[in-house]
Amino acid sequence: MRAWCVLLAVVLVAAAGTHAVPLESDSEYTGSKTIKALKEWFRPVTTYFNKIPNKTPSDVADDVGDKFTDVKEWVRENEVVQGLYASLEPARTWLKEQGNDLSDQSFKEMYDNLKEQVMNIDTMVGSWIQDHNESKK
On whether both 78 and 103 belong to a single domain, the answer is no
Find out whether 13 and 49 touch, Cβ atoms under 8 Å: yes
Find out whether 57 and 10 touch, Cβ atoms under 8 Å: yes
On whether both 109 and 63 belong to a single domain, the answer is no
Measured in whole angstroms, how far is the alpha carbon of residue 125 from the centre of its chain?
31
Q: Mean pLDDT for the chain? A: 79
Q: Which of 40, 13, 46, 41 has the alpha carbon at shortest distance from 26?
A: 40
Q: Give the span between the Cα atoms of 18 and 20, in whole angstroms.
A: 6
pLDDT digits (tens, 9 = 90+) for 91-106: 888 888 877 777 777 8
On whether both 14 and 28 belong to a single domain, the answer is yes
Q: Give the span between the Cα atoms of 64 and 82, in whole angstroms.
A: 23
For residue 17, give its domain range.
2-87
On whether both 72 and 10 belong to a single domain, the answer is yes
On whether both 14 and 76 belong to a single domain, the answer is yes
On whether both 30 and 10 belong to a single domain, the answer is yes
On whether both 77 and 113 belong to a single domain, the answer is no
Residue 1 binned pLDDT confidence (cut-offs 50, 70, 90): low
- The reported pTM is 0.34
DSSP of 71-113, one letter per residue? Answer: HHHHHHH-HHHHHHHHHTHHHHHHHHHHHHHHHTS-HHHHHHH
pLDDT digits (tens, 9 = 90+) for 53-101: 888 888 888 988 998 999 899 888 888 888 888 888 888 888 888 777 7
On whether both 80 and 99 belong to a single domain, the answer is no
Q: Count up the domains in the chain and report the number.
A: 2
Q: Give the span between the Cα atoms of 5 and 92, in whole angstroms.
A: 28
On whether both 71 and 6 belong to a single domain, the answer is yes
On whether both 97 and 56 belong to a single domain, the answer is no
On whether both 45 and 97 belong to a single domain, the answer is no
On whether both 71 and 111 belong to a single domain, the answer is no
Q: Give the span between the Cα atoms of 112 and 100, in whole angstroms.
A: 18
